[in-house]
């Protein structure tokens, strides 16, 4: 089996949409085709800060990740925020998630970012097992104000 991490292309859109819909379902987030179209547009707009990678296993997309820069004023630096990471349940354990995170980290190093940061659900135990191997869990608690 050959695992490849690369940027998404126009030919990937249908499968990317399936994967992204699976990600939204996993987190129980209502997501419309229009919302996916917006994100797809961001990924393909060179001027937009949101970028992505896909994981391809034997010529089939099995995973995706989206990321973007964020300012770190206290550190006077720029970091990278990994917004979305999803691997088809049938391909978990294939190394795709680790390879996607590694690709984002490599991109961050290339851009001079000082950190790659992400959040996940507390009960996302399987993914957290990998994250605990790859990164340091922080002490920070997050809050949202719905606007």
Q: pLDDT, tens digit, for every residue of 50-66?
A: 999 999 999 999 999 99
Domains of the chain plus CATH, in order, are 3-134 (3.40.630.30)
The angle formed by the CA atoms of residues 60, 94 and 115, to the nearest 5 degrees, is 100
pLDDT of residue 13: 98
- What is residue 141's predicted lDDT score, i.e. its pLDDT? 86
The DSSP annotation for 32-71 comes to -HHHHHHHHHHHT-TTSS-EEEEEEETTEEEEEEEEEEEE
Q: In whole angstroms, what is the distance from residue 9 CA to residue 73 CA?
A: 34
Instruction: Tell me what pLDDT residue 78 has.
Output: 98
C-alpha distances (whole Å) from 12 to each of 17, 67, 145 are 8, 18, 34
Residue with tokens 């996607």: 100
DSSP designation for 114 = S
Burial of 74 (0-12, 13-18, 19+ CB in 10 A): exposed
Eight-class DSSP state of 89:
G
Per-residue pLDDT reduced to its tens digit, 83-127: 999 999 999 999 999 999 999 999 999 999 999 999 999 999 899
Helix, strand or coil, per DSSP, at residue 98: helix
Which tokens go with 146? 């719905």
What's the mean pLDDT in 29-42?
Answer: 97
Selection from 29, 34, 31, 108 nearest residue 65 by Cα: 108
The two tokens of residue 112 are 């001079």
Query: Does pLDDT of 8 surpass 90?
Result: yes
Q: Based on the number of CB atoms within 10 Å of its own CB, is 133 exposed (0-12), middle (13-18) or buried (19 or more)?
A: exposed
């Amino acid at each position: 089996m050959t695992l490849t991490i690369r940027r998404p292309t126009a030919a990937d859109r249908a499968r990317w949409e399936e994967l992204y819909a699976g990600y939204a379902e996993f987190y129980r987030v209502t997501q419309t085709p229009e919302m996916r179209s917006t994100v797809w547009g961001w990924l393909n707009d060179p001027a937009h800060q949101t970028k992505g990678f896909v994981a391809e296993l034997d010529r089939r997309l099995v995973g995706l990740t989206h990321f973007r820069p964020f300012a770190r004023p206290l550190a006077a630096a720029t970091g990278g925020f990994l917004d979305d990471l999803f691997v088809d349940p049938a391909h978990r354990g294939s190394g795709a998630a680790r390879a996607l995170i590694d690709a984002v980290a490599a991109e961050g190093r290339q851009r001079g970012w000082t950190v790659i940061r992400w959040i996940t659900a507390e009960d996302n135990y399987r993914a957290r097992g990998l994250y605990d191997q790859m990164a340091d869990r922080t002490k920070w608690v997050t809050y949202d104000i719905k606007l």
